[in-house]
Amino acid sequence: MRHPARWIAAAVATVVVVLGVVFALNVGNDPTAPQASPLLDKAVPPFELATLDGSTVSSESLAGKTVIVNFWNTWCTPCHAELPALKEFWDAHSTDGDVEMVGIVRDDTTRRVRSYVGEQGIDWTIALDPGSRAALDFATRGQPETFAISPSGRVVGSQLSEMSVAGLEAMLDVARRTG
Amino acid sequence: MRAALGYAALVVGAGACVVGISVLVAGVRMRDAVLLRLGRRCVFGVLVASIVAVGAMEWALISHDFSIRYVAENNARGTPFLYTVTGLWASLAGSILLWGLILGGYLAYVAHKFRRRATDPVVAVALTTGLVVALFFFVLMLGPANPFETLARVPIDGRGPNPLLQNHVLMAFHPPVLYLGYVGFTVPFMFAIGALVTGRFGEGWLTDTRRATLVAWGFLTFGILLGAWWSYEVLGWGGFWAWDPVENASLLPWLTGTAFIHSVIIQERRGMLRVWNLSLVVATFCLTILGTFLTRSGVLDSVHAFTESDIGPWLLTFLGITAATSIGLLAWRGDSLRAPGRIDSAVSRESAFLANNLLFAALAFVVLLGTVFPLVAEAVRGSRLSVGEPYFDRMTTPIGIALLFLMAAAPALPWRATSGEVLRRRLLVPAWVGGLTMVVAVVLGARGVWEVLAYGLGAFAVAGIVRQFVLGVQGRRRALGESGPRALGRATRSNPRLYGGLVVHLGVVMIAVALAASSAYSSNAEVRLRRGEQATVEGYTLTYLGSKTSTSAQKTTISARVRVERGDRELGVYAPAISTYPNSTEGIGTPSVRTGIKEDLYLTLVSSPGSGNRVTLSVRVNPMILWLWVGGGVMAIGTILALAPRLRRRPSRAVAREPVPESEPELAEVGA
Amino acid sequence: MTGRVWPWVALGVLVVAVVGILVWPNGSERRAERAHSIAAELKCLECQGLSVADSSAPTSKAIRADIRRQIAAGRSDEEIRQSYVERYGEEILLQPQGSGISLIVWVLPVVVIAAGATGIWFTLSRNRREPRLHATDADVTLVDRERAAGDTRE
């Protein structure tokens, strides 16, 4: 091969340019920003959980309604922080008839949950997920994580951080419109 | 005042670079000695400017001058003195200041060392290159990463450094040592460019920069090991290397740098592989810039993401220009560099070095590919992919084992060609030592293939090294009548490169064995204990004694005191802790480690002891970790030995008492 | 000839035997080991660069418990991994699997090493084929002359 140095240099240069382009496209990213839930736009995973008051809640029992599912527990600090927003949201929509809110607790004890719910005056459905199975089915990646499920059973919204009232309203809106 | 002084120093530094570059370029063009000497002086100006700038920043930090944004963000009144001083490199702008200082130091070293060759075009072009690099960093500091930016409203107290950067004394060592390594590779790079531009390819530039290259390599090795130690002692996840993108970024120049310091030996002996060596030097430098880019640009998610900044595009552009210039120069000159030497035999020192080059290059390729692949895949496919520890371990372990084999066998191979007799004499016994070690390891319970191979090859290597030392000492005793210890001292000092290199290899064996053992056996358990309760893990009995809270201006710490016993021997009270700092809501865990010769007991507090006096502890038993650090220390000693000046042989008045035993031709020589 | 080679051959046999013993699949892996090795291949999505096996985050603990459940239910390693990929996407696997672009990260290093090794081999064999130096007639005459002169100078 004549002038092998030039060929090799050209090959190396090509690889370097490709890498450079890839880097340039990614500069300015924030890779620590939470990504969208893997469940987005998929069907809600079937679940069936016991609630605090002794009955059960399941994906079937909630079918046809717009559902906000909120994963939390009593020792997660951001969960405490978002509680007022959740209460305000529920106060506004509990009488709507087509909206349901379910708080799913994992990694906690029934006793602590019960006393917390009592203290804080939480009046939406609270379900217990002792083995974290529902949490895994929902592909949760931390706490608190909130999902919005449309009446047709599709996950149309998710957020992996504290919710605000505005955020909840927006999720509700999208879910209702999806139908 | 301090900000103004610091910024002015940066301006002067940048100015000195510009003047120096212009003067040197003109001087080379016009062959004007006066200009070239002036250019040399500008380098010292750059050093002075960077010293003043760093001084101004330290002054500002120590006096808690919160009118400067950098101080307000990285220092607080409650920050202990040590962490105030180390705040210089706590985040981006300050660490560029540190880079500038170290670069100024190395450039001044080059300017001083080559003062009698100031008119040599290679030196002039090398200094120009160095000044261009320095100019880039000064421009960064004048613009996007200004450390002396002032705040309109002066806060009463600063935010303080990131909690992870103020809870261990290693903070004082790891970044500066690492930078001494990274920046040091600018020196051989400068001379490589000098050689390429001037067309002077003789081995002169190699010898000239040999010392600096080895120093840089030594610091980089030590810096990486300090980082691993930090990961282990401070981050609390129980491991020391996570194949994190930034860790990989520091490993890449180390791999090409190590390939280089070995490959230059062929170039010195036989004049071969010039283009390859130049490429290695250039690649090493580019990889240090790439490493900085990956650490600072936020392109890849990493544990090192202490700072977010927008200097990413600047670094990428600089990297692109450097890579393009170097590749261009190599393409232009490369073909006229082909050397006349040939490799005669497949079993020879030359072939071993070729294989060594191939393996290190393969390692670097694997690490680079794995690190950037998620980015590439996402660009092509849109969905995210991870490349993590299982991939890296699987791909690098076989290559590492092959390198261990080379390390054991190659120093005994003669140059050019060998015979079966020579191989037998030099290698058979050490090889059998290795083989028997493998059997012993299996008998003692080792079960992993790679692990047992590592033990065997390690023993093989150590046997070869010991043999080398013994021969050296015996030779001197017989020929010169020196006593044992004296002969050892003199032998090593009469050939420091050889013996220093052997000691470094010894350190590598220790690290390899530690890596093999710890990857095979680490165990992990979680225990929940009430006060006074006991649990037994892997033969250790742990008793939870209670928790303690302590508060200082810097932080609030909750620690769980745990008594550790083994059998009926008490080993002490250990206290893993969680600390909360005023500037952060999340607690930072601090592990408590009992270091033993055979294994470490590693305790972390999983959650603060809440009500009910229950605490959850994570208990890990990590084998052989101590030997990682000891091996690192041995490598450092070996590097220092290799840098020692050769002992001049005084004319000996002793008559040789016995015929001198057939002398062993010089074996592995590295660096110096 | 055999006298010089047999120590090496014996050593080779020993090493191969030891490696063979270690590589031979020895019954079933204990459940705990299986669980650990599967967990080590899954990424903890809440953490920075840790695997599910190493992390103490709640989701990781839940996944470890779920893995143990699935192992007890008799599912294979591949099925368990797949169940997580279905839920979380390919991102959760710490080493790329499957076809398409993922193969590149496995195949490319092998290709590169093979290419490098081939290149070295070619260089070596090319050198061997051409003898380095050729004695010209002038050289031969010179040597003969010196030899003759040397003999007489004895």
For residue A16, tell me if it sits in a domain. no
Contacts of B351 in chain C (CB under 8 A): 120, 124
**Domain check: are C118 and C149 in the same one?**
yes
pLDDT in tens, B42-81: 999 999 999 999 999 999 999 999 999 999 999 998 889 9
In chain A, which residues have pLDDT < 70? 1-3, 28-34
Tell me how close the Cα of A141 comes to any Cα of chain C, in angstroms: 6
- Whether C78 and C118 map to the same domain: the answer is no
- Coil, helix or strand at residue C150: helix
Helices (H) and strands (E) in chain C, counts: 6, 0
Q: What is the CATH number of the domain that holds A155?
A: 3.40.30.10
Question: How many C-beta neighbours within 10 Å does residue A101 have?
Answer: 22
Same structural domain for residues C35 and C82?
yes
Residues 6+ apart with CB under 8 A from B406: B352, B355, B356, B359
**Per the CB < 8 Å rule, is A132 touching C62?**
yes
The chain C residue lying nearest A108, using CA atoms, is C58
Q: Are residues C65 and C84 in the same domain?
A: yes
From CA B107, how far away is CA B16, in angstroms rounded? 13
C50 and C90: one domain? yes
Q: Which domain holds residue A76?
A: 48-178
Span C12-52, pLDDT tens digits: 999 999 999 888 877 666 777 888 889 999 999 888 788 89
Q: Kindly give the residue spans of alpha helices, DSSP state H, lying in B382-410.
A: 389-409
For residues B373 and C108, is the Cβ–Cβ distance under 8 A?
no
Cross-chain Cβ contact C15/B435 below 8 Å = yes
Share of chain B above pLDDT 90, in %: 47
Contact C46 A141 (CB under 8 A): yes
How far apart, in whole angstroms, are the C-alpha atoms of residue B255 and residue B278?
15
Q: Which residues of A touch B379 (CB under 8 A)?
A: 22, 25-26
User: Tell me: the pLDDT tens digits for B419-432?
Assistant: 888 888 889 999 99
What's the angle, vertex CA B476, arms to CA B472 and CA B477, rounded to 5? 115
Which H/E stretch holds residue C85? helix C77-88
Per residue in C104-135, pLDDT (tens digit) is 899 999 999 999 999 888 877 776 666 656 77
Tell me if C45 is assigned to some domain: yes
For residue A169, report the phi and psi dihedrals to the nearest 5 degrees. Answer: -60, -40
B630-647 pLDDT, tens per residue? 999 999 999 999 998 887
C133 and B CB contact within 8 Å:
no
Q: Do residues B367 and B255 lie in contact, with contact meaning Cβ atoms separated by under 8 Å?
A: yes
pTM over 0.80: yes
Residue C127 lies in a domain: yes
Most confident listed range (B464-473, B612-621, C142-151): B464-473
ipTM above 0.85, yes or no: no
CA distance A69 to A49: 13
Residue A66 belongs to what H/E stretch? strand A66-72
Q: What pLDDT, on the 0 to 100 scale, is given for residue B119?
A: 82
Shared-domain flag, residues C62 and C121: no
Q: How confident is the model at residue B667 (pLDDT cuts 50, 70, 90)?
A: very low
Nearest-CB residue to A5 (from B301, B330, B585) = B330
Query: Does the residue C13 lie in any domain?
Result: no
Q: Are residues C37 and C90 in the same domain?
A: yes
The answer to whether residues B375 and A26 touch, using CB atoms and an 8 Å cutoff, is yes
CATH number at residue C44: 1.10.8.640
Domain interval for residue C113:
101-153
Least confident piece of the model among B218-222, B655-659, C116-120 = B655-659
Chain position carrying tokens 């979680």 = B526
Q: Given an 8 Å threshold on Cβ–Cβ distance, is B298 in contact with A25?
A: no
Q: Which residue has the tokens 């050289």?
A: C139
Q: Which of C79, C95, C111 finishes a domain?
A: C95
Q: Is B380 an interface residue toward C (CB < 8 Å)?
A: yes
State whether C86 and C120 are in the same domain.
no
Task: State the average pLDDT for chain B.
Answer: 87
The distance of A13 to chain B (nearest Cα, Å) reads 7
B524 touches chain C (CB under 8 A): yes
Final residue in a domain of this structure, among C64, C95, C126: C95
CB B103 within 8 A of CB B137: yes
Sequence-distant (≥ 6) Cβ neighbours of residue B131 within 8 angstroms: B17, B20, B21, B24, B42, B43, B46, B107
Which ranges constitute the DSSP H helices of chain A? 4-26, 77-93, 110-120, 133-137, 165-178
Rounded to a whole number of angstroms, the CA Rg of chain C reads: 31
Q: Does the beta-carbon distance from A5 to B331 stay under 8 Å? A: yes
- The pLDDT of residue B203: 64
In a domain, residue C105? The reply is: yes
Residue B457, phi-psi category: left (phi > 0), alpha (psi -120 to 50), beta (remainder): alpha
**Distance separating alpha carbons of residues A31 and A79, to the nearest angstrom:** 24
Chains touching chain A, criterion 3+ CB pairs below 8 Å: B, C
Pairing type for strands B534-537 and B540-551 reads: antiparallel
- How many domains does one find in chain C? 2
Q: The tokens of C108 are what?
A: 């490319």
Q: For chain A, how many structural domains are there in total? A: 1
